Structure 1
């Protein structure tokens, strides 16, 4: 993979994760050298969202973030946490509400706690007119039900790290959501179904992300010594998608950049 073949945005990187503590600045530098000129840091708790904003301010131009409470941490949602998020949404670096949604797979928070926290964040999104950065696992029907209820009041959003079925894909598309694709498609064990679905995603609804440090693409050669995923691997994901869709990767890069700008309005900051 040669450097700077494309100009890309990683719309999902967990840069506050401790896996990046030793070399966070180098990770950003390596991403820039690979043509990943813009990062959207994922907020997963009130405290992590505050940290994400600090990182945006520390590392400067073209580093943005979301602010929200991941369903795993829904039990932490409180009036104080809601106020923290409301305050963070006033920061110009915060471009989306989330990572928010439902995860009935592990239930680190009860389904009731998750539904409450998600509803609160949907209300916040409608108040501040920011798009949603969505997580969902084993809770599709309930999540879609809640999204439909708020559809006319929110500024759209992205189904982050989508790994679902064709039916689930079309449910999200019917809600005018964007679809975030990760290195999951590079996994020959579990990504085959999603790889086949890539042609079903309208070009104007596709976004790409690493979800680093998670989901290292398994087919990178030579295989990285570390299992830690990095934003500099985003061009590899782009090329895998382009191959599956039978289009030129440079054309795809331009399209996903346009899509990211349309949803998150990166270039409108400060205007």
Structure 2
């Protein structure tokens, strides 16, 4: 298998002591390429630097997560635009809305989201989107940019059947993580993933978060790594009633086309 992890927070300080080993374990597990998530003013430049250090294997996004929306100033906007001028930065984001934690005021979240959508319009780059407990406002803001945006992926989808079909009706892609493997919170996804067209489906770990709970044996720590993408694709294939190789090939082809990666 040649897998693509479309969302790995490899700049997280939890990887500082063994990042090279993490990357090697990912390669050994068939993860050929990874998109390093940029989600703040601090970490978006680090994502670009990491991608530059591993050309052809790592790529980056640049954006400001709704948790950090209050840092989205004019200067921040200029910084994001500069980062997105580099070919290694293949998507705008992680950006969107998060009403589950409300770490930033909702008006600030909406303003930061709108400004990053405008960057996507101006650059033509795809969108790497975050939405949690904010579906109605999220869709409303996206609709303001109808006909202007390129492709978009709703990363780490955890929503309802209605939200999934709403996303698909808007031609957005769907990112599936190890949330699928959580018997407490992700059981509904087991049925929903059957309805995602192969050309809209991508896979991700969101490492170091969301270690799949069905990995056996469970590691002594709770840190997720890109190597566990192989486990996620096996579970996803089973739920979709597909051969693992078929699901792997389809998600890789979709991610390659979505991000404009070299074949």
In the superposition, the TM-score normalised over structure 2's length comes to: 0.98
Q: Within the alignment, does 1:12 sit opposite 2:7 as a pair?
A: yes
What secondary structure does 2:59 align onto?
Answer: strand
What corresponds to 1:138 in structure 2?
133
Where structure 2 has 5 or more consecutive residues not aligned to the other structure, the ranges are none
After alignment, is 51-60 or 23-32 more displaced? 51-60
What corresponds to 2:96 in structure 1?
101
- 1:38 paired residue among 28, 33, 46: 33
Cα distance per residue 1:94-151 (max 9 Å; x no partner): 0000000001112111010000000000000000001110001111000011112213
What secondary structure does 2:146 align onto?
Answer: helix
- 1:25 paired residue among 14, 20, 41: 20
8 A contact 1:199–1:244 mirrored in 2: yes
In the superposition, the TM-score normalised over structure 1's length comes to: 0.95
Matched pairs, number: 263
Cα distance per residue 1:47-97 (max 9 Å; x no partner): 210111011112332100100000000000001000000000111110000
What secondary structure does 2:46 align onto?
Answer: helix
| Whole-Å separation in 1 of the counterparts to 2:93 and 2:137 | 17
Moved over 4 A (4+): none
Cα distance per residue 1:20-55 (max 9 Å; x no partner): 011111111110111101010001112210111011
- 1:252 paired residue among 238, 244, 247: 247
| Whole-Å separation in 2 of the counterparts to 1:88 and 1:240 | 35
| Whole-Å separation in 1 of the counterparts to 2:87 and 2:81 | 13
Where structure 1 has 5 or more consecutive residues not aligned to the other structure, the ranges are 1-5
What secondary structure does 1:247 align onto?
Answer: coil
| Whole-Å separation in 2 of the counterparts to 1:263 and 1:196 | 25
What corresponds to 1:242 in structure 2?
237
| Whole-Å separation in 1 of the counterparts to 2:33 and 2:54 | 11
| Whole-Å separation in 2 of the counterparts to 1:57 and 1:156 | 24
| Whole-Å separation in 2 of the counterparts to 1:226 and 1:55 | 24
What corresponds to 1:232 in structure 2?
227
What corresponds to 2:57 in structure 1?
62
